[in-house]
Chain A
Amino acid sequence: MSNTDVLIERWRNGDERAAEALYNGHRDPVFRLAYGLLGDLSDAEEVAQDALTYALVNIHRYDPNRASFTTWLHIIAVSRCRDRHRRRRLPSLSLTAWLGRGGDVADSAPAPEHRAIQSEVRSQVWEAVQALSQPLREAILLRYWAGHTYREMAEILDCPVGTAQSRVRLAYQRLREALTLAEPINLEQGEFS
């Protein structure tokens, strides 16, 4: 029985310290996955908190025979990120602004501390990943960053294994094209290896 399994069992029995340990152990990876998928620190924080809360509140739904706890958490986080994407696609009409009542009730601009971090976290690869379509971005992050197997990816993305594989290949090809256009480099020099 792994340490995570022990913590889950203890949390199921009502030990809040176990919940805190689970939270602390998975906070950073879930936050970073959400950040990679959404490209915005404020949104990533909100989605990660929501996903972790959902997982801890609904711990009785977790079945270790179906997936690891990390995979289950990533299923929830990806689902929450998709919700956030759908929300972003809603037309951003502001009725109060239209009526001349001033500010937007949901200002989506990042906070100053977030902007400072956000400006540091930029690379050509990052920009190219953010320019990918949502399904391709999900695939490349789950494979390259989270290191999931294709079977786990299929579970998380709710698609066949072959689809997960083809999305990773396609995302990689798109990234390579974008990076070649942006900055032709000599890969043989092993600049990034």
Chain B
Amino acid sequence: MNNHLSDEQLVGYVHHTLTDAQREAMDQHLGICADCRAGLAEQEAWQRRIHHSLLADLKAAHPPPDMRFSTIAPRLKRPNGLAGLGQRFGQFFPAATAVAALAGLAIALVVLVEGTSRPLVDARPLATSSLPVVACLLFAVPVLSNIHGSRRVPSRLILSGVVAFFLWIGTAILGLYEIFLVREMLFRLYARFWGSSDGRGQDYWRALALGNWALIPLSVVWLALVVGGGEYHYKRVGQRSSWKLFGWTVAVEVLILILPWIL
């Protein structure tokens, strides 16, 4: 080796990325070339500087005092019952949770179109179809599967993002349907306790007006929840807090759906 060693070679030498043959050839050259020995010493000094400085920087960073085992201990408990079943389902069939969310979204769309395309009061009883409840049950599948953080690490963010998007749209559509459901409930409650809806008299129009005016605050609340919730999920996609909020959303929607049965 007559020429001086290149920077690449010296860097490879100090980082132990050369083959044995390359290293042996370089050792021979270094034995006879003072310039290259100086070059190697300089590389080693740089390496030491970076190494020591990085170690010092990171040793100076300490975990905050509230980063303790007790913080995560509750999450280490193995969930039982429905939550445990959901976790195992999510572990073995992660894509199925997205399918469940998509199916729930499709059903929510059907429910919205069907539920809002008929007159407020007709011959049929109050809208208490089981379809919206089925949609909520399907939404509960990805929520229960993910709430304990059981996803595989590599596909976590992408899959979680897709599922969260389906859930967000699906729960928003179901929420829209529930606005009409609440309007109908108000109308019927008024008609039941303060008048009669059969006669189409003054009571009927009062009840109708009450139901229609209720649409305004309900729509504002719905819009605020959809926008605020969307932003919350967008910034916490795949995180436990996002799944928890979805869980609460689905629970409240189920409660509103069973209200007509109670009332």
Task: Spell out A's residues near B (CB within 8 Å).
Answer: 16, 19-20, 23-24, 27-28, 31-32, 35-36, 41, 44-45, 48-50, 52-54, 56-58, 75-76, 79-80, 83, 86-87, 90, 94-96, 99, 101, 105-106, 113-114, 117, 120-126, 129, 140-141, 143-145, 150, 165-166, 168-169, 172-173, 175-176, 179, 187-188, 190-193
Contacts and interface: CB of A to CB of B under 8 A. Distances in A.
A168 B76 CA distance: 36
B50 A57 contact: no
A16 B73 contact: yes
A187 B47 CA distance: 11
A145 B227 contact: no
A193 B69 contact: no
16 contacts: A23-B72, A24-B69, A31-B67, A35-B61, A49-B72, A50-B149, A79-B154, A96-B228, A105-B235, A123-B53, A125-B53, A169-B8, A169-B12, A179-B49, A188-B45, A192-B48
A160 B59 CA distance: 30
Nearest to A97: B231
B4 interface: no
B53 A76 contact: no
Contact of B63 (A31, A90, A168, A179): A31
Contact of B72 (A36, A52, A169): A52
B15 interface: yes
Contacts of A75: 153
B124 interface: no
B23 to A, nearest CB: 13
Nearest to A56: B76
Contacts, number: 158
Contacts of A187: 42, 45-46, 49
A35 B15 contact: no
B248 interface: no
B48 A121 contact: no
B232 A83 contact: no
B10 to A, nearest CB: 10
Given A79-B154, A106-B236, A172-B47, A126 B67 contact: no
A144 B54 contact: yes
A133 B157 CA distance: 21
Given A49-B67, A53-B76, A41 B61 contact: yes
B142 interface: no
B58 A57 contact: no
Given A53-B76, A57-B150, A123-B57, A106 B235 contact: yes
A113 B153 CA distance: 31
Contacts of A150: 17
Given A31-B63, A123-B56, A168-B17, A191 B235 contact: no
Given A28-B63, A45-B64, A49-B72, A125 B45 contact: no
Interface in B41-87: 41-42, 45-64, 67, 69, 71-73, 75-76
A44 B64 CA distance: 10
A192 B52 CA distance: 7
A173 B157 CA distance: 32
Given A57-B149, A125-B50, A187-B42, A172 B11 contact: yes
B158 to A, nearest CB: 9
A99 to B, nearest CB: 7
Interface string B1-23: 00000011001100101000000
Contacts of B90: none
Given A169-B15, A192-B48, A53 B75 contact: yes
Given A90-B234, A165-B15, 20 more contacts: A19-B69, A23-B72, A45-B64, A57-B75, A83-B157, A106-B236, A120-B60, A121-B60, A121-B61, A145-B54, A145-B58, A150-B17, A168-B17, A169-B15, A172-B46, A175-B50, A187-B46, A188-B42, A192-B53, A193-B48
B224 to A, nearest CB: 8
